[in-house]
């Protein structure tokens, strides 16, 4: 099997976890290579995600690394043996890799929890709303690039729509509900869509109103994606330089705490629906 030209974020995550296990065991790459009867170069390739690893080799490494968490090891095996070529692959070499990695992350997530302050969360956006968002990008995108991104964003809904959909909690600040990224009809249609999907059993929409007292919270958007086991959770942060995936346990603990605080400060699902209905009358 040849080396991967561009490993996905999921493949890199597997590689990172294997390297962490080796470091925790106090072994060098050369020693791990000797355990498998391969070269240290091959270990480096496995730990960079440019080369895959078989189930047998992965379990052998985990045993030598003294990892006794069988549920965790089995989750790593599932990642290593996954051959899914999802819908996002049609966009490879057409869109930035981060678009594909985010779609893959959402597809495999056991839950999704998102906080947005100035924009409607991607999976809940209407086509017109998404088109307005991408049309306002700097540097400016061509019409073809805008439409590719809009189509990709609409297909991200599959994680929430398919049989056995992913549980999803979206916490949206009132600012995001009020800001008109386009015109009044687009804003009205977008708010109506959010209200419609919030009726689904697996989707919970919570609103943070402007008049909330003593809300410090976090003012950066974030997404928490549940892994097969908590150790494989991932946090996603949007920044001016691009999308960042966070997977260290210390950082994940911070994001889980931030999300709990924001969730505790937000209105409950029923009050949020009432709030959005009142806001719809103003729009």
Each residue of 18-74: pLDDT tens digit?
999 999 999 999 999 999 999 999 999 999 999 999 999 999 999 999 999 999 999
User: What number is the average pLDDT over the span 156-174?
Assistant: 92
Q: Do 228 and 82 meet the contact criterion of CB atoms below 8 Å apart?
A: no
Q: In the predicted model, is pLDDT for residue 177 greater than 60?
A: yes
User: What number is the average pLDDT over the span 92-103?
Assistant: 95
- pTM of the predicted model, to two decimals? 0.93
241-250: long-range contacts (C-beta < 8 A, 24 or more apart)? 242/96, 242/98, 243/98, 243/101, 243/102, 245/9, 245/13, 245/101, 245/105, 247/13, 247/16
Q: Do 49 and 12 meet the contact criterion of CB atoms below 8 Å apart?
A: yes
CATH 3.30.870.10 residue window(s) in the chain: 96-124+157-282
CATH 1.10.260.40 residue window(s) in the chain: 9-81
3-state class (DSSP) for residue 112: strand
- Provide the pLDDT confidence category of residue 1 given band limits of 50, 70 and 90: low
* Domain 9-81: CATH architecture, name and number where available: Orthogonal Bundle (1.10)
- The CATH topology of domain 96-124+157-282 is Endonuclease; Chain A (3.30.870)
Cα 60 from chain centroid (whole Å): 30
The residue ranking higher by pLDDT, 241 or 281, is: 281
| Among the listed residues 199, 195, 196, the one whose alpha carbon sits nearest the alpha carbon of residue 207 | 195
170/133 Cα distance (integer angstroms):
19
User: What number is the average pLDDT over the span 217-221?
Assistant: 77
């Amino acid at each position: 099997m040849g080396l991967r030209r561009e490993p996905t974020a999921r493949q890199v995550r597997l590689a990172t976890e294997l390297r962490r296990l080796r470091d925790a065991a106090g072994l060098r790459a050369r020693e791990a290579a000797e355990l498998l009867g391969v070269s240290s170069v091959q270990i480096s390739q496995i730990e960079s995600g440019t080369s895959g690893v078989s189930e047998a080799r992965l379990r052998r490494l985990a045993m030598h690394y003294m990892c006794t968490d069988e549920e965790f090891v089995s989750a790593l095996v599932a990642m290593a043996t996954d051959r899914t070529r999802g819908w996002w692959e049609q966009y490879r070499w057409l869109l930035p890799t981060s678009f594909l990695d985010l779609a893959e992350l959402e597809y495999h997530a056991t839950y999704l929890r998102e906080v947005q302050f100035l924009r409607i969360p991607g999976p809940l956006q209407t086509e017109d709303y998404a088109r307005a968002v991408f049309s306002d990008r700097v540097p400016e995108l061509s019409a073809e690039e805008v439409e590719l991104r809009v189509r990709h964003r609409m297909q991200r809904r599959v994680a929430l729509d398919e049989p056995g959909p992913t549980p999803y909690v979206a916490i949206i600040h009132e600012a995001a509900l009020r800001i008109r990224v386009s015109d009044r009809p687009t804003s009205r249609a977008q708010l109506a869509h959010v209200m419609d999907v919030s009726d689904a059993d697996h989707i919970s929409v919570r609103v943070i109103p402007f008049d909330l007292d003593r809300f410090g919270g976090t003012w950066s958007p974030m997404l928490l994606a549940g892994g097969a086991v908590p150790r494989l959770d991932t946090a996603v942060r949007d920044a001016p330089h691009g999308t960042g995936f966070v997977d260290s346990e210390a950082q994940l603990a911070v994001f889980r705490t931030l999300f709990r605080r924001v969730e505790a400060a937000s209105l409950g699902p029923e009050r949020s629906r009432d709030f959005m209905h009142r806001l719809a009358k103003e729009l």
